[in-house]
């Protein structure tokens, strides 16, 4: 089975003449088409809004594209809040879903018009202390515990997750918040990750809608929105069938009309916080084969490493690889495709059947548009790569430059050693 890259070898050769590998490349056309499809899938809900999970791909250029389709930002830290403000998010455009949150971050989120989504009942006290009040609009994160099942089996185990309130706690939280001045409420839940099934969101929606009805009846709180969060996944493997967002949207609509509308709650807005689904398939890591090694196994060494894409090393996650220009050649060579970190798990593929790879070949590692660049780090003193945006007309531009040694050493800039660390930088360029 094959995956088709969104870029041709001819175009990659053009890009690499200007920007050296490795780099993350994003497909503007795919991003736009997907954002439009999501908006259309939930157009039946007057208040629908997607709050893009900034943590997935924290790049202002890409967020700006999503804003053209009405998307806001889901943030989980102070710096993500700062980015949301910088790209022009206004009141109601930011959802602040964090955990173990410093009080100053609650304060900043409120100052810039963010909706605070409480992860725990004890955070009510923290928010009140930070703001001197409880906001009039507030949300609570729900975790029913146990395992989350749909017709084709267990999807995930929220009972082991650190996030959210128990059923009893969320009822208590609503009562407390209402008594302290909250006027409009939201509920939020993330019960399964990276689901590749059209059934997940409708099943989650049923759980959340039934909870909303009970909360409104028993606490008197007005439910303004229900946030289905993320969890809609992407097909990393070529034999997986992708989700159909229009089928998913219709499934949620059906449950909405069965559960909420008869209870007089047909004005409840549906929110989503998708990251992987919004960006994952529309980014790839472009890297070059620079070494080959023949020992107990066959190894291909590339100029990228886990610094550029951590998921395979961290989770054993599968990312499909295309050897550009050899798409139609037989996959008759078994390789471990490795990076240069001093860690044996720094491998993009293990025992992967691929065409014969020669030094200088360009490899496209698929589906890195979310949780790819964002999870990078600087182990072994490795520097993070550039990010490039491929426009619909075939032009391209750098939307984040690659790190330099000066960036790596920047936190020493208040010490005398800083200049010594940089004295060789120009020579090494």
Active-site residue set: 342
User: What are the backbone angles phi and psi of residue 10, rounded to the nearest 5°?
Assistant: -60, -45
CA distance 335 to 356: 9
Q: Is 258 left (phi over 0), alpha (psi -120 to 50) or beta?
A: alpha
Peptide bond into 53 cis (omega under 30): no
Contact 99, 120 (CB under 8 A): yes
CA distance 123 to 115: 14
In a 3-state reduction of DSSP, which class is residue 114? coil
CA distance 1 to 7: 18
- For every residue of 82-124, DSSP letters joined together read HHHHHTT--TTSEEEE-SS--HHHHHHHHHTTPEEEESSTTHH
Question: What length does the chain have?
Answer: 429
If you compute the radius of gyration of the chain from its CA atoms, what whole number of angstroms results? 23
């Amino acid at each position: 089975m094959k995956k088709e890259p969104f870029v041709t070898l001819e175009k990659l050769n053009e890009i690499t003449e200007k920007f050296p590998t490795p780099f993350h490349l994003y497909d503007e056309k795919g991003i736009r088409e997907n954002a439009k499809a999501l908006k259309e899938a939930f157009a039946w809900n007057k208040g629908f809004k997607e709050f893009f999970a900034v943590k997935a791909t924290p790049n202002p250029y890409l967020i700006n594209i999503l804003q053209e389709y009405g998307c806001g930002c889901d943030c989980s830290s102070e710096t993500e809040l700062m980015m949301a403000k910088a790209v022009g998010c206004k009141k109601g455009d930011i959802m602040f879903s964090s955990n173990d949150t410093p009080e100053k971050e609650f304060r900043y989120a409120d100052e810039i018009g963010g909706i605070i989504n409480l992860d725990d009942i004890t955070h009510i006290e923290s928010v009140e202390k930070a703001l001197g009040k409880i906001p009039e609009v507030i949300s609570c994160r729900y975790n029913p515990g146990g395992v989350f099942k749909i017709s084709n089996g267990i999807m995930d185990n929220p009972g082991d997750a650190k996030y959210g309130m128990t059923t009893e706690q969320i009822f208590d939280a609503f009562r407390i918040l209402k008594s302290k001045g909250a006027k409009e409420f939201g509920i939020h839940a993330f019960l399964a990750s990276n689901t590749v099934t059209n059934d997940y969101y409708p099943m989650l929606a049923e759980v959340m809608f039934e909870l909303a009805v009970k909360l409104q009846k028993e606490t008197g709180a007005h439910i303004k929105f229900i946030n289905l969060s993320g969890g809609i996944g992407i097909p990393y493997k070529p034999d997986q069938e992708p989700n159909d967002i229009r089928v998913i949207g219709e499934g949620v609509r059906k449950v909405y009309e069965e559960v909420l509308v008869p209870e007089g709650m047909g004005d409840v807005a549906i929110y989503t916080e998708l990251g992987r689904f919004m960006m994952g398939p529309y980014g790839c890591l472009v890297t070059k084969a620079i070494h080959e090694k023949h020992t107990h196994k066959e190894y291909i060494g590339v100029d990228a490493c886990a610094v550029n894409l951590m998921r395979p090393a961290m989770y054993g996650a599968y990312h499909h690889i295309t050897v550009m220009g050899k798409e139609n050649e037989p996959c008759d060579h078994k390789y471990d495709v490795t990076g240069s970190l001093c860690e044996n798990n720094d491998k993009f593929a293990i025992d992967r059947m691929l065409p014969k790879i020669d030094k200088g070949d360009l490899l496209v590692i698929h589906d890195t548009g979310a949780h790819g660049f964002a999870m990078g780090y600087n182990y072994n003193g490795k520097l993070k790569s550039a990010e490039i945006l491929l426009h619909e007309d075939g032009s391209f531009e750098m939307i984040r430059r690659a790190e330099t040694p000066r960036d790596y050493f920047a936190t020493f800039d208040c010490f005398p050693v800083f200049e010594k660390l940089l004295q060789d930088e120009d020579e090494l360029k």
